[in-house]
């Protein structure tokens, strides 16, 4: 075997030890629990082999794995494409087990194949959203010391512009480059003999400072979310067709649109355009039965479903932002179906508290997913009585392991994952969401760090100082709201507000731009000169006549 032993004492297959060597110390990990018998995995485990080879062995090679508007691909066809791509990675691009591979693409066949091929080759997949700019990509590339990249040809520009000294190889699909290499590659490439606790995925999430955090997950973790939430709460089967809007680069999308359907030999419907109208049309067109998206999309689709009911739909998962009661009720009235609310975290990989089928209770989020435990604690780590608000603490078979990041000790305390949410539990084990505890803004299912938007605004010559918070919004849950003090001699105007919004879209991912801008003479500050964010949040909660742009 190659490499030193992993956390379980089983030799690692990784020759490149970067990810393992940059894990937090073992005593800084949360307690991991494997109470369910299905969470007992073999010491040698490759998730790509578990998802694809098992389907072929079970005689489901001709069953449809992926459907798009351009056609369908069977499990056998997908497995061949994955094998060829894994062969390209190893034999043409020089990947060795443990190398990090950045994946950049839309939700399509190539993006799915890229994830599976990286895992099959023993690499570590790092998905990135299509909307990320060069600055954000550079942060990820440098922090993870990424050596290889697979990218949609339509998205290479920002990647090429990123500061990435470790990047050695980049190959694009869509222009014939990767397709040609795969046509010449081995269709029977064997899977790398990885250990169950070899790193398979580093999922990056924005920190409240805007510095990305790399959440490290093992091969076994990717199966654990299938064998907990998907198996015990979602309860789909091989006849289902999964569909949804979250990018595969989000762990919400990776679970719902790749891991969950392939774990049970089901079908996934993939679409390039993620809007709710496009989702609803594709749902009808392809007879989808399991949907994953955010409340913002369900709000829009409820109006569409009132005119044409999606009769094949039977499971509707909502996550990414709090689910408003009116959305829950509108969806049920339009479709006859309950929304399955859930909360997860990139650190935990997927949903750990959620609503089961036909169990929705307005105003409550759900119960703990089998295989996990959750409590509400005070600031000293002591359990609080039911009905009392406190810190949500979670543990299970997955948990937070940040890549070389001092913030590990803030997320993991007392052996629990402290998610940054205020919750309360009621007597019968149901949980109610109260608020976020940090500067994260959750808008239409996207996590947006206020300080990151501030940093982008401060690079504009007109901005003297600024503060960014979230404001409640009926359509998006929250909207990014920027309070800006202009440099001396400049006057507020609609044109300047628009210019600032356009500037932010150029500097960071466009979805992070401030949809509301308010110009102030000065920002509220403490005696020590720190911006009082609570005061800005209070201002954002009130109608503001000085608001210039939306």
Could you tell me which residues come within 8 angstroms of residue 455 by beta carbon, excluding any fewer than 6 positions away? 210
- Residue 479 within a domain: yes
Mean pLDDT, residues 161-180 = 96
What is the rounded distance in angstroms from the CA atom of residue 197 to the CA atom of residue 20? 10
- Residue 77 within a domain: no
Q: What is the DSSP string of 522-535?
A: S--B-TTS-B-HHH
pLDDT surpasses 70 at 549? no
Give 133's pLDDT tier (boundaries 50, 70, 90): very high
Integer CA distances (angstroms), 132 to 206, 268, 453, 459, 528, in order: 12, 25, 13, 18, 35
What is the rounded distance in angstroms from the CA atom of residue 463 to the CA atom of residue 465? 6
pLDDT surpasses 50 at 36? yes
pLDDT surpasses 90 at 272? no
pLDDT digit string (tens) for 442-500?
888 787 888 788 888 989 999 988 889 999 888 888 999 999 999 889 999 999 999 99
Residue 244's DSSP bridge partners are: 292
Mean pLDDT over each residue of the chain, to the nearest integer: 92
Q: Is 491 helix (H, G, I), strand (E, B) or coil?
A: coil
pLDDT surpasses 80 at 526? no
Give 510's pLDDT tier (boundaries 50, 70, 90): very high
What is the rounded distance in angstroms from the CA atom of residue 475 to the CA atom of residue 302? 13
pLDDT surpasses 70 at 2? no
Closest CA to 67 of 115, 106, 117, 107: 107
Using an 8 Å Cβ cutoff, are 271 and 252 in contact?
no
Closest CA to 245 of 284, 271, 222: 271
Tell me, what CATH number does 545's domain have?
Answer: 3.30.300.30
- Residue 239 within a domain: no
Using an 8 Å Cβ cutoff, are 169 and 195 in contact?
no
- Residue 492 within a domain: yes
pLDDT surpasses 70 at 153? yes
- Residue 478 within a domain: yes
What is the rounded distance in angstroms from the CA atom of residue 392 to the CA atom of residue 403? 23
Residue range(s) defining the domain that contains residue 518: 440-549
Using an 8 Å Cβ cutoff, are 105 and 125 in contact?
no
3-state helix, strand, coil in the chain (%, to 5): 30, 25, 40
Contacts 24+ apart (CB under 8 A), 9-12: 10/43, 10/44, 10/195, 10/196, 10/197, 11/195, 12/98, 12/194, 12/195, 12/197, 12/198
Give 528's pLDDT tier (boundaries 50, 70, 90): very low
Contacts 24+ apart (CB under 8 A), 276-280: 276/245, 276/300, 276/301, 276/304, 277/304, 279/243, 279/244, 279/245, 280/304, 280/305, 280/310
Mean pLDDT, residues 195-205 = 97
- Residue 512 within a domain: yes
- Residue 206 within a domain: no
Please give the pLDDT value at position 359.
84
pLDDT surpasses 80 at 25? yes
pLDDT digit string (tens) for 59-104?
999 999 999 999 999 999 999 999 999 999 999 999 999 999 999 9
pLDDT digit string (tens) for 409-451?
999 999 999 998 889 999 889 999 887 777 778 888 787 888 7
Could you tell me which residues come within 8 angstroms of residue 527 by beta carbon, excluding any fewer than 6 positions away? none
Q: Is 19 helix (H, G, I), strand (E, B) or coil?
A: helix
What is the rounded distance in angstroms from the CA atom of residue 2 to the CA atom of residue 24? 22
What is the rounded distance in angstroms from the CA atom of residue 290 to the CA atom of residue 351? 16
Q: How many CA atoms lie within 13 A of 285 on its CB side?
A: 15
Please give the pLDDT value at position 449.
80
Please give the pLDDT value at position 273.
81
Count the domains in the chain: 1
- Residue 506 within a domain: yes
pLDDT surpasses 60 at 1? no
pLDDT digit string (tens) for 285-326?
999 999 999 888 898 999 999 999 999 999 999 998 788 888
């Amino acid at each position: 075997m190659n490499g030193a032993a992993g956390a379980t004492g089983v030799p690692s297959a990784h020759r490149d030890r970067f990810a393992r060597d940059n894990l937090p110390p073992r005593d800084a990990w949360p307690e991991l629990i494997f109470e369910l018998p299905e969470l007992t995995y073999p010491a040698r485990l490759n998730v790509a082999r578990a998802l694809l080879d098992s389907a072929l062995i079970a005689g489901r090679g001709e069953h449809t794995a992926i459907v798009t508007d351009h056609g369908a691909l069977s499990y056998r066809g997908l497995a061949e494409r994955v094998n060829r791509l894994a062969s390209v990675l190893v034999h043409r691009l020089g990947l060795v087990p443990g190398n990090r591979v950045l994946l950049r693409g839309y939700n399509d066949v190539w993006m799915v194949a890229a994830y599976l091929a990286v895992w099959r080759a023993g690499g570590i997949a790092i998905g990135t959203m299509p909307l990320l700019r060069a600055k954000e990509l550079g942060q990820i590339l440098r922090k993870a010391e990424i050596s290889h990249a697979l990218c949609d040809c339509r998205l290479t520009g920002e990647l090429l512009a990123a500061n990435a000294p470790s990047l050695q190889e980049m190959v694009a699909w869509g222009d014939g480059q990767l397709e040609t290499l795969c046509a010449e590659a081995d269709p029977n490439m064997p899977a790398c003999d990885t250990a169950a606790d070899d790193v398979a995925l580093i999922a990056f999430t924005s920190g409240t400072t805007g510095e990305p955090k790399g959440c490290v997950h093992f091969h076994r973790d990717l199966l654990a979310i299938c064998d907990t939430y998907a198996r015990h709460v979602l309860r789909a089967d091989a006849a289902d067709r999964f569909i949804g809007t979250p990018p595969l680069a989000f762990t919400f999308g990776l679970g719902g649109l790749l891991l969950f359907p392939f774990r049970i030999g089901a079908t996934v419907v993939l679409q390039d355009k993620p809007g709710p109208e496009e989702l609803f049309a594709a749902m009808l067109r392809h007879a989808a039965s399991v949907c994953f998206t955010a409340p913002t999309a369900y709000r829009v689709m409820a109006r569409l479903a009132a005119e044409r009911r999606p009769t094949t739909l039977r499971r509707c998962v909502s996550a990414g932002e709090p689910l408003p009661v009116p959305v829950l009720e509108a969806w049920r009235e339009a479709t006859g179906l309950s929304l399955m609310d859930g909360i997860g975290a990139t650190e935990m990989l997927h949903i750990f508290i959620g609503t089961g089928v036909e169990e929705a209770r307005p105003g409550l989020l759900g119960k703990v997913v089998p295989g996990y435990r959750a409590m509400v604690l005070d600031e000293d780590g002591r359990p609080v009585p039911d009905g009392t608000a406190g810190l949500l603490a979670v543990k299970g078979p997955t948990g937070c392991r940040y890549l070389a990041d001092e913030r590990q000790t803030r997320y993991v305390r007392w052996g629990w994952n402290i998610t940054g949410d205020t919750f309360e539990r009621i007597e019968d084990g149901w949980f109610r969401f109260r608020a976020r505890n940090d500067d994260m803004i959750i808008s239409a299912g996207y996590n947006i760090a206020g300080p990151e938007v501030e940093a982008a605004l401060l690079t504009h010559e007109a901005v003297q100082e600024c503060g960014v918070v979230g404001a409640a919004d009926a359509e998006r849950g929250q909207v990014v709201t920027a309070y800006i003090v202009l440099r001396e001699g400049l006057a507020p105007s609609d044109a300047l507000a628009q210019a600032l919004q356009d500037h932010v879209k150029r500097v960071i991912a466009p979805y992070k731009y401030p949809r509301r801008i308010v110009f102030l003479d000065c920002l509220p500050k403490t005696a020590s000169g720190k911006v009082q964010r609570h005061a800005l949040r209070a201002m954002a909660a009130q109608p503001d006549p000085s608001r210039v742009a939306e």
